[in-house]
A and B are shown apart, each in its own frame.
Chain A
Amino acid sequence: MKKFIVSFAVILLLVNSNLMAKTSLEWWQFWTDPTIKPIINEMIEEFETNNPDIEINVTDLTWSNGHEKIVIAFSSDTAPDIVELGSDWIAQFASKNKIADITKLSKNELGDYRGWDMATYNDKIYAKPWFLGTRVMFYNKTLLKKAGFDDSFIPYKWDDLKNGAREVTALGKKYYGWGSNTAEKHRLYKKFMPFFWSNKAQLFTDDNKFCVLASTKAIEAIKLYAWLHDSCGYVDNQRGIEDSFLDGKIGFIISGDWLLKRIELEKRKINFGTTLIPGPKLPGKSFLGGEFLAISENSKNKEAAKKFIDFITSAKNQVKFCKANRTATPSSKLASQDEYFTSNPNLLMFNKQINLSVNPPVDPDWVKIEAIIEEAVEEIIFNTDLIAEPLLDAQRKIEKIKGL
């Protein structure tokens, strides 16, 4: 009798545990501040309710050190199932086969999302775009008016920018025409490269055989950038520039959608406008980046992971997230057509700029190349009057890295 009860209990236990067998997914993500964390939790809860056999364990990463944590985990093959990666990190992990190739899993949704290029390495897709990030030109309408420009003035070409910046600077000692970033890692290049790309300069020749960082077009771009810095520049880090701009002291700055969030949350009374990054004669190109969701190569639950990723990146959830975080550019095309975006001229501007932006090459060496470019720009604007030499120097260093 005892034996029967024991074996019955064991069978019951086994049956129950099978019924309760949950797939557990680990997700590492970066959105942790009080305005947005509740949305993340809501989405997770909703997904778990709709999919009772999947359990999501989320780990919060800090923006300052999250990347290290991810690298350490992937290095020792103890990575989470799903990880949020910035666009400039994807190549590092893809090239070492640490994140899964999801080309097949994404086959049917290529047309529904924008940003796939940034996750494509060697013709394979390694991550799904979540949000895109670009930069536009913010300008202070009050200051421009004061400087003698009328209301309809929108600076879309370089000459406009130069004149506008010059006149605003001429207004007085405490006014500056241009917010110029100081040496800040991972930021400076996003301010300089738009000038570079707008002038149709390239990093490499089309056949990728030579680095052409020191081309004539590049030199023109850096000349303008340096002029703005020297003659009209309010030099500070990004925060300082934004603070000053919001205090009404700067005419033009390049910034992202988070500035709109600041203006809204801090109830700033500034009469500002947004416009596309200016080019030599027509609007030019801006920087493009984004946040992506990738699946670890070692994950044992790739299908479930993709299911969760698809849920998070669905149009409905993207709109929900963007509204809470004031993000301007969701990756889902459907989401970007939501009234929230189309009824706001500033958000529209960001989405327009997406079509006119360039992303850095998807290359595992990009972070090193980026550092070299930033050092060259810093050298030019802070240390010397030379322009071609630092660029040539950087060009040589980049060629060395790429083995050209």
Chain B
Amino acid sequence: MVKKILKYSTLLGITFVMVFPLLWMFRVSLSPVGSLSISEIWTSSSYTLSNYYDLFTSNNMGLYLFNSILVGLIVTVSNILFCFTVGYTFARFQYITNKILFVTVILVLMIPAHIIIIPLYLICLEVGIYDSYLALILPWLVNPIGIFLVKQYIDSLPISMEEAARIDGASELRILFKIIMPICKPALAVLAIQVFFTNWNSFLFPYILTQSDQYRTLPVALALFQGHQAIDWQHLMAGSTISVIPVLVIFILMQKQIVSGITGGAIKQ
């Protein structure tokens, strides 16, 4: 019993630390613009949904939300598909330049965005995808970290299962997607998380590679609330809260995937 109390108080304590700044953010989003100083926020009793209302009417928050979700999902799905297939290829077929290629690919991630952004901008202009959905998607179609993750995971899988299926006469595609992919669920789940969230909060690339309102994503929209001399706290916090909700929803849905566990069979011979 004591153990239980200890456990729950620890959990609640940690929750408080994790959540407090966000509670503050949420509270500010519910306060009317220009009504009081931020420091008095907890004692005030004025609440309003007008900030959220503003965002969806005079601001295009609905569009920005849609853009972020659309781009996020496309990039995540494409990564799951391609990282899986390419990772499998790297794991099962030893190409000559395998290792070198691999290393180069990962090194791409180690260059600061500000250096990459200028040539990337030039390329997008050249290829004609500047200021379009393609600029938000194509460069991120396949994330090398994902390839690395899948390769590592598949490396550890016994080849016997595939060979058995091959002998049985199953086609390669069938083996790949019906047998191996389900086993890779944990790796793919981790990959999906990594890709989706990196993309969700990405600011610099969407900002520089697009300019029209219609392709704007949430992080860029949020940046616009930082005024010249003053920050529009109320709208910014409302926008930020909106930015958190879809992700939380996806997280809750995906929890089942991640935590459903690997039901036997996979590693077992």
- B-contacting residues of A (Cβ < 8 Å)? 28, 30, 32-34, 37-38, 57, 59-60, 62-65, 68-69, 72, 75-76, 78, 238-239, 243, 246-247, 256, 258, 261-262, 265-267
Contacts and interface: CB of A to CB of B under 8 A. Distances in A.
Contacts of B227: 33, 63
A258 B230 CA distance: 8
Interface stretch (B36-44, B145-153, B183-191): B36-44
A59 B212 contact: yes
**Residue among A65, A247, A261 with most chain B CB within 10 A:** A65
Contacts of B35: 266-267
Contact of B207 (A34, A62, A76, A247): A62
B37 A247 contact: yes
A76 B125 contact: yes
Q: Contact residue range for chain B?
A: 20 to 34
Contacts of A68: 208
B160 interface: no
Given A65-B223, A72-B118, A266-B36, A33 B232 contact: yes
Contacts of A76: 118, 121-122, 125
A267 B34 CA distance: 7
A182 B59 CA distance: 34
A63 B228 CA distance: 6
A367 B54 CA distance: 37
Interface of B: 33-39, 54, 58-59, 117-118, 121-122, 125, 204, 207-208, 211-213, 220, 223-232, 235
Contacts of A59: 211-212
B28 to A, nearest CB: 13
A33 B39 contact: no
A32 to B, nearest CB: 5
A69 B118 contact: no
B225 A65 contact: no
Contacts of A60: 213, 224
25 contacts: A30-B228, A33-B224, A33-B232, A34-B54, A57-B212, A59-B211, A60-B213, A62-B226, A63-B226, A63-B227, A65-B204, A72-B117, A75-B118, A76-B118, A76-B125, A239-B230, A239-B231, A246-B37, A247-B37, A256-B229, A258-B229, A262-B230, A265-B33, A266-B35, A267-B35
